[in-house]
Chains A and B, each alone.
Chain A
C-alpha cells in the first residue's frame, strides 16, 4: 500500500510539474521605478517584480477557456459584462470564423471577460503602469523610449493594416523576452479606467486637463512618445463591456514571496 501511495504521489508530482511547465510562457519582469508618460502627475511610479505572459492570449487558448467556462460564450455571456460585439468574429459559441488564424491574438473581448480568463488561471490583468513598463523596451534596451527607432516602429504598426490577423510570437521579442506588446493588438489593462481623459477630467477638479487638450502633447513627459499618448487616449475612451477588433489582452502574475 505504501508503495502505491508513493507511486501515486510521484504521478501527481509529474503531472503537476507538467502543468507548471506552462509558466515557461511567462517572463519574469524585474520591477523598478520609472516615469510613465502619464503617471500620477508625471512622477515616478514603482513597479514590483511580476511575471508576464510572453504572448497575448490567442484565439486557440480562448477557445479552450470557453469550453471550460460556457458562461463566457457569446450566447451565454451576461450583457452587463460584454456588449454586442463580443466574439462577433466567432461563428458559434465554441468556434471562430473559418478565416481566423487560431494562433492570432483573441480580440472582440470585454474587460470583464479578459479579467475572468486571467483569474481562472490564477493570474490577473496587468496594471497600466506594469504594461507600459514592459512595453517601453525594444529588442535590446529596457527603456528604449528615447530611441527614435522605437517610436517609429510602433507608429509604423499603427499605420499597417490587418496586423491583428498575424500569429503571436512573430515580432521580435523585447529585452524582457516578451512578444507582441506592439505589433498585433492593443491590450486590456486592469485599471484602464484610471485614465481620466474624457469629459469628466474637465468637470472634476483633478489635474488631468494636461491629458486632454492639444497642449497636452507638449506637456507630456516625453514628447516623442506619441504612440503611448494614443494608447492612453484609447484607454480613456473605453468602457469595460466594450469588445473591439483591435483590442486583446494578456495576463500577468504576482511573484509570491517564498518566505513570509
Chain B
C-alpha cells in the first residue's frame, strides 16, 4: 500500500512533465503492484519498550526504561519477562497464536480470525465430526474439563474445537454436532478453516494428522490451553488421561 501511495505522489508531482514519463511511471507502478508480494500485516512487538526492574523489588513494582542499578540495593536491574510487558501493553506477543492470520468460520456461520478470540482463556482441540474412534473421547474429555470449571471461571473461558476436515465439517454440520453433543453454549466454539489454515494451525499446536480416507483421519490427541493473549500454557496429550493439570492451568489463568 505504501508503495502505491509513494508512486502515486510521484505521479502527481510529475503532472507537468510530459505524458510520456507519466506513462512509464504508471507502467512501473502497475508492475510494482502486480509483482510485489502481499506481506501480511502481522503484529510486531519489537518496538515495545523493554522494562527493567530491581531483582529484589526494593521499590515494589517500579520499573525503569534503561539498564542500570537499583538505587536501594545497588543490584543490576533485570529485564522483565515479555509476559508482563504484553499484559501491560495488550500487544500480541511473538509466541501468540494470534499471529496466525488465517480465516475461520464458526458453527454460527461467522467469519473470524483467531485474534477475535482474544481476551478469554482458550482451550483448543482438533477433531472432525465424522470421527468414530478417538474424537468422541476427546470431545468427552473437553466436556469433562468444562464440567469441572466453576461458573464464575467459565465466563472467562472459550472452548474451541477445530476441524481437521474442513471439507466435510461445514458450519451447518458443526452446529448440528454442537447441538447433538450438548455443546451449543456460549463457551463452545467450533471452527472450520481452509486446508492450508488448518495445516498451519496444527503445526503451531504440534498436532499431526493425515487423511486415511475421505472420511477418516488419524491424528494426535492433544488438548491445548492458551492464556487470554494466545500464548500456549499447557498441553495434554493422549486419550482419557488425567485432566487434573489442564484444569489447574485453566483455573490459574481465570483467577
Q: CA–CA, A76 to B168, complex, Å?
A: 37
Task: Tell whether, in the assembled complex, residue B39 and residue A69 are in contact, meaning their CB atoms are under 8 Å apart.
Answer: yes
Contact A71 B213 (CB under 8 A): no
- Would you call A170 an interface residue if the criterion is a C-beta within 8 Å of the partner chain's C-beta atoms? no
Q: Which residues of B contact A78 (CB under 8 A)?
A: 42, 44, 94, 99
* Stretch from A149-157, A178-186, A188-196 that touches the partner: A188-196
Expressed in whole angstroms, the minimum distance between the Cβ of A14 and any Cβ of chain B is 11
> What CA separation (Å) do A104 and B158 show in the bound complex?
47
Q: Give the tally of cross-chain contacts (CB within 8 A).
A: 104
Query: How many residues on chain A are close to B (CB under 8 Å)?
Result: 42
- Choose from B23, B35, B133, B238 the contact partner of A4 (Cβ within 8 Å): B23
B239 partner residues in chain A, CB cutoff 8 A: 203-204
Per the bound structure, the CA–CA distance linking A240 and B203 in Å amounts to 6
**Are B218 and A112 touching (Cβ within 8 A)?**
no
Contact present for A190 and B237 (CB under 8 Å): no
Q: Mark A11-40, 1 if CB is under 8 A from B, else 0.
A: 110010001000000000000000000001
Task: Give the distance to chain B from A67, nearest Cβ to Cβ, in Å.
Answer: 11
Give Cα distance in the complex from A203 to B218, angstroms: 11
Residues from chain A with a CB closer than 8 A to the CB of B35 are 19
A193 touches B218 (CB 8 A): no
Contact B211 A120 (CB under 8 A): no
How would residues 199 to 211 of chain B score, 1 for a CB under 8 Å from any chain A CB and 0 otherwise? 1101110111111
Q: Which residues of B contact A115 (CB under 8 A)?
A: 200
User: In the complex, are the beta carbons of B39 and A195 less than 8 A apart?
Assistant: no
CB distance from A223 to the nearest CB of B (A): 23
Structural contact, B44 and A80, CB atoms closer than 8 A: no
Known: A80-B95, A194-B209. A69 touches B37 (CB 8 A): yes
**CB <8 Å contact, A195 and B95:** no
Among candidates B208, B213, B221, B237, residue contacting A193 with C-beta atoms closer than 8 Å:
B208
Q: How far is the CA of A79 from the CA of B204 in the complex (A)?
A: 11
- Interface size range of chain B in the complex: 35 or more
Q: B6 at the A/B interface (Cβ < 8 Å)?
A: no
Residues of A within 8 A of B62 (CB): none
- Checking B23, B31, B99 against A81 with a beta-carbon cut-off of 8 angstroms, the contacting residue is B99
What mask results when residues 147 to 164 of chain B are scored 1 for a CB within 8 Å of chain A, else 0?
Answer: 000000000000000000
Chain A residue contacts of B219, Cβ below 8 A: 196, 204
A191's nearest neighbour on chain B, judged by CB, is: B199
User: Is A111 interfacial (CB-CB < 8 Å)?
Assistant: yes
Per a CB cutoff under 8 Å, which of A41, A112, A204 touches B220? A204
Which residue from chain B places its CB closest to the CB of A122 in the assembled complex? B37
B255 interfacial by beta-carbon distance below 8 Å: no
Give min CB distance, A42 to chain B, whole Å.
12
Cβ-defined contact, A196 with B220, below 8 A = yes
B237 to chain A, nearest CB (A): 7
CB distance from A170 to the nearest CB of B (A): 29
Which of these, A41, A71, A190, A199, contacts B44 with CB under 8 Å? Answer: A71
Can you pick out 6 interface pairs between chain A and chain B where the beta carbons lie within 8 Å of each other? A76-B46, A112-B200, A194-B210, A203-B220, A208-B218, A239-B203
Q: A193-B208, A196-B208, A204-B219 are in contact. List 15 more A-B contacts (CB 8 A).
A: A12-B30, A68-B39, A69-B37, A76-B44, A79-B95, A191-B210, A193-B202, A194-B209, A194-B210, A195-B208, A195-B210, A196-B218, A203-B220, A205-B133, A240-B204
Q: Which B positions have Cβ atoms within 8 angstroms of A?
A: 19-20, 23, 27, 30-31, 35-40, 42, 44, 46, 94-97, 99-100, 133-134, 199-200, 202-204, 206-213, 218-221, 237-239
